[in-house]
């Protein structure tokens, strides 16, 4: 027997979840949101956001998400701490289990669980977790003031992290497996212009070493003559190699693509289950921007409202 029944349950609290909460709140659906493991989502661990329209000056990611949250609260959303651990979409109303203990029945569900940082999969990442390995420069960069660090990846996140760390650390290596950066031109220019960032193209991390904390990384350098082993002395390694969607608990019920992203009807947030919608990065392998996530949260809310009015 469920503990309560709600019209609209939102899982996850990034730009998609909060926007869905704003719209469903204004639509009188009394939305209930479970904020998940990382309330506010990925933006809370980024630095300045320069590309969210309506903010001509850069705004901190955390601050932006606090504004989203306040707006959702003002619109009547019930935002709760808690992690959804199980869903049962076999029949409506759908049953959602929170923290393995509480169950809620929902007429509509908006999935906005986003994506989480990827790791390389090296045993040393586990060995030095909390001892020199991190996937969040804004969270942990402070510990590396005047030290030497390395960032792995060649996308916008890696460049952003490297640029942020260059203000704290004395030296930052950017380890890129290809011979070019995938990041936008603006970000490429930024990292190339910072004196204490050294870009190591065609290098990959094979392991780490150090007594208790990371003291260095073992790399392999790809050259036309073959691979060469290289060691660099570093105090910290930051992973910035992309994200994987948080879809584990939904896979039993919903279709996913080969990398795990939820599949929706093209151009809509509708999943194959009526009344269950997916918004934001969890269903978007292509754009993955705060603004596109917010837009799809709005679409999901409108769909939920229409579904309930049918």
> What positions carry a catalytic annotation?
136, 139-140
Is residue 199 near ligand NDP by the rule CB under 6 A?
no
Candidates 86-94, 177-185, 214-222, 269-277: pick the segment binding ligand NDP (CB under 6 A).
Answer: 177-185
Closest CA to 144 of 120, 124, 173, 121: 173
- Would you give the end-to-end CA distance of the chain in angstroms? 26
Residue 299, Ramachandran bin (φ over 0: left; ψ between -120 and 50: alpha; else beta): alpha
Q: What's the closest the beta carbon of residue 178 comes to ligand NDP, in angstroms?
A: 4
Is residue 154 near ligand NDP by the rule CB under 6 A?
yes
**Between residues 76 and 242, which has the closer beta carbon with respect to ligand NDP?**
242
DSSP assignment of 47-97 equals: -EE--STT-SS-EEHHHHHHHHHHHHHHTT-EEE---EEEEE-SSSSEEEE
The distance from CA 92 to its chain's CA centroid, rounded to whole angstroms, is 29
Is residue 39 near ligand NDP by the rule CB under 6 A?
no
Axis-axis angle for helices 15-26, 290-309 (nearest 10): 40
Number of residues this chain uses to bind ligand NDP (CB under 6 A): 18
**Between residues 75 and 136, which has the closer beta carbon with respect to ligand NDP?**
136
Is residue 153 near ligand NDP by the rule CB under 6 A?
yes
By beta-carbon distance, which residue lies closest to ligand NDP? 155
Is residue 42 near ligand NDP by the rule CB under 6 A?
no
Candidates 103-111, 154-162, 249-257, 297-305: pick the segment binding ligand NDP (CB under 6 A).
Answer: 154-162
CA 74 vs CA 22, 77, 81: distances in Å: 8, 7, 17
Burial tier of 45 (Cβ tally within 10 Å: 0-12, 13-18, 19+): middle
Is residue 161 near ligand NDP by the rule CB under 6 A?
no
Q: What's the closest the beta carbon of residue 11 comes to ligand NDP, in angstroms?
A: 21
Q: What's the closest the beta carbon of residue 298 comes to ligand NDP, in angstroms?
A: 20
Is residue 157 near ligand NDP by the rule CB under 6 A?
yes
Per the CB < 8 A criterion, the answer to whether 236 and 147 are in contact is: yes
- Cα–Cα dist 176/203, whole Å: 6
Candidates 33-41, 68-76, 190-198, 235-243: pick the segment binding ligand NDP (CB under 6 A).
Answer: 235-243
Is residue 242 near ligand NDP by the rule CB under 6 A?
yes
**Between residues 30 and 51, which has the closer beta carbon with respect to ligand NDP?**
51
Contacts of ligand NDP in 93-152 (CB under 6 A): 120, 152
Among 39, 76, 155, 207, binds ligand NDP (CB under 6 A): 155
Q: What's the closest the beta carbon of residue 155 comes to ligand NDP, in angstroms?
A: 2
Tokens of 7: 């019209």
Is residue 218 near ligand NDP by the rule CB under 6 A?
no
**Between residues 19 and 24, which has the closer beta carbon with respect to ligand NDP?**
19
- Cα–Cα dist 14/39, whole Å: 7
- At residue 159, φ and ψ (nearest 5 deg) are -65, -40
Closest CA to 155 of 128, 130, 182: 182
Give me the helices (H) in 167-263, please.
185-193
**Between residues 118 and 147, which has the closer beta carbon with respect to ligand NDP?**
118
CA 57 vs CA 70, 166, 277: distances in Å: 20, 22, 33
**Between residues 28 and 126, which has the closer beta carbon with respect to ligand NDP?**
126
Which residues lie near ligand NDP (CB under 6 A)?
51, 120, 152-158, 160, 177-178, 182, 204, 241-243, 288
């Amino acid at each position: 027997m469920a503990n309560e029944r709600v019209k609209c349950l939102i899982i996850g609290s990034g730009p998609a979840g909060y926007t869905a909460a704003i719209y469903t709140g204004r639509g009188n659906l009394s939305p209930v949101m479970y904020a998940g493991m990382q309330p506010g989502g990925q933006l809370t661990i980024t630095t300045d956001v320069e590309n969210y329209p309506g903010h001509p000056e850069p705004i901190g990611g955390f601050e932006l998400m606090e504004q989203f949250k306040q707006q959702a609260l003002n619109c009547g959303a019930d935002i709760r701490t808690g992690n959804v651990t199980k869903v049962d979409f076999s029949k409506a109303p759908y049953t959602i289990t929170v923290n393995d203990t509480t169950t809620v029945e929902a007429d509509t569900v908006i999935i906005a669980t986003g994506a989480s940082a990827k790791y390389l999969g090296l045993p040393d990442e586990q060995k030095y977790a909390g001892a020199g390995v991190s996937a969040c420069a804004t969270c942990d960069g402070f510990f590396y003031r005047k030290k030497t660090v390395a960032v792995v990846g060649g996308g916008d996140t890696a460049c952003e992290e490297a640029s942020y760390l260059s203000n704290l650390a004395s030296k930052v290596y950017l380890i890129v497996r290809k011979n070019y950066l995938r990041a936008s031109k603006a970000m490429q220019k930024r990292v190339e212009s910072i004196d204490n960032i050294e870009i190591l193209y065609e290098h990959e991390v094979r392991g780490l070493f150090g007594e208790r904390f990371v003291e260095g990384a073992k790399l392999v350098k790809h050259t036309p003559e073959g691979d060469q082993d290289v060691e660099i002395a570093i105090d910290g390694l930051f992973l910035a190699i992309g994200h994987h969607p948080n879809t584990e608990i939904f896979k039993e019920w919903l279709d996913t693509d080969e990398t795990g992203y939820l599949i929706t009807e093209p151009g809509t947030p509708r999943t194959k289950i009526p009344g269950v919608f997916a918004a934001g990065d969890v269903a978007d392998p292509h754009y993955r921007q705060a603004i596109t996530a917010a837009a799809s949260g709005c679409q999901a809310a409108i769909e939920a409202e229409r579904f309930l009015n049918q």
